[in-house]
């Protein structure tokens, strides 16, 4: 193999490695919980839970929703599942999040700390999330008290 061929192969491998490193992970450790529907994972990626909406900082049940999310995911390895969209207009990854076999998006809704909210085109589990909201409302859980 000529020296020129070796350089070309090395450049191609380096480029592929750099591209692979730029992709968000499918499994990552949660480094920070922002609120009831947003976390930060290793690499500094902000992840917004798809299909739900939790209270913002100035809304009632914000602290309870954030604390529930912290109990579920803080410091843990999570598995991230993409639907159709990769990111929202704020640059956050849009994902369904799982930890230890628990579907976190649905669990936040089931506990009453978030409501189901469709964000087209990402509606893969919307019927299920809406069923979890109905269950939480009927049981008067979380913010539905």
Map residue 52 onto helix, strand or coil. Answer: strand
Q: Which candidate in 92, 95, 110, 133 is catalytic?
A: 92
Tell whether the model's pLDDT for residue 131 goes beyond 90. yes
**Contact criterion met (CB below 8 Å) for 50 and 97:** no
Q: Is 56 a catalytic residue?
A: yes
Instruction: Assess contact for 115 and 132: CB atoms under 8 A.
Output: no
Task: Check: pTM over 0.85? Answer yes or no.
Answer: no
Contacts of residue 65, Cβ cutoff 8 Å, sequence gap at least 6: 35, 36, 37, 54, 55, 108, 113, 114, 142, 143
Which residues partner with 41 through β-bridges? Answer: 30, 45
- Establish whether 79 is a catalytic residue: no
Report domain 28-144's class: mainly beta
Q: What is the pLDDT of the chain when averaged over all its residues? A: 91
Residue from 48, 107, 110, 133 carrying the catalytic annotation: 48
Who wins on pLDDT, 55 or 22?
A: 55
Instruction: Please tell me the number of Cα atoms within 13 Å of 87 on its side-chain side.
Output: 8
Least confident among 22-36, 64-78, 113-127: 22-36
| pLDDT top residue among 17 and 106 | 106
Domain locations in the chain?
28-144
Q: Identify the active-site residue in 42, 56, 59, 71.
A: 56
pLDDT at residue 41 in the model: 98
Mean per-residue pLDDT, 133-141:
96
Region at 130 (left for phi over 0; alpha for psi -120 to 50; beta for the rest):
alpha
Is residue 9 over pLDDT 80?
A: no
pLDDT, mean of residues 73-95: 97
Q: Which residues of 72-85 are buried (b: 16+ CB within 10 A; e: fewer)?
A: bbbeeebbbebbee
């Amino acid at each position: 193999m000529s020296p020129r061929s070796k350089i070309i192969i090395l450049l191609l491998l380096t480029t592929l490695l750099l591209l692979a490193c730029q992709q968000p992970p499918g499994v990552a450790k949660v480094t920070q919980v922002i609120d009831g529907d947003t976390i930060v994972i290793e690499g500094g990626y902000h992840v917004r839970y798809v299909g739900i909406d939790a209270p913002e900082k100035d809304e009632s049940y914000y602290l309870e929703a954030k604390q529930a999310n912290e109990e579920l995911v803080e410091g843990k390895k999570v598995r991230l599942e993409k639907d159709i969209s990769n990111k929202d207009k704020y640059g956050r990854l849009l994902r369904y999040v799982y930890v230890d076999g628990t579907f976190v998006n649905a669990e936040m809704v089931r506990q009453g700390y978030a409501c189901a909210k469709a964000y087209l085109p990402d509606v893969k589990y919307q019927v299920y999330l809406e069923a979890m909201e109905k269950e939480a409302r009927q049981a008067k859980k979380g913010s539905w008290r």
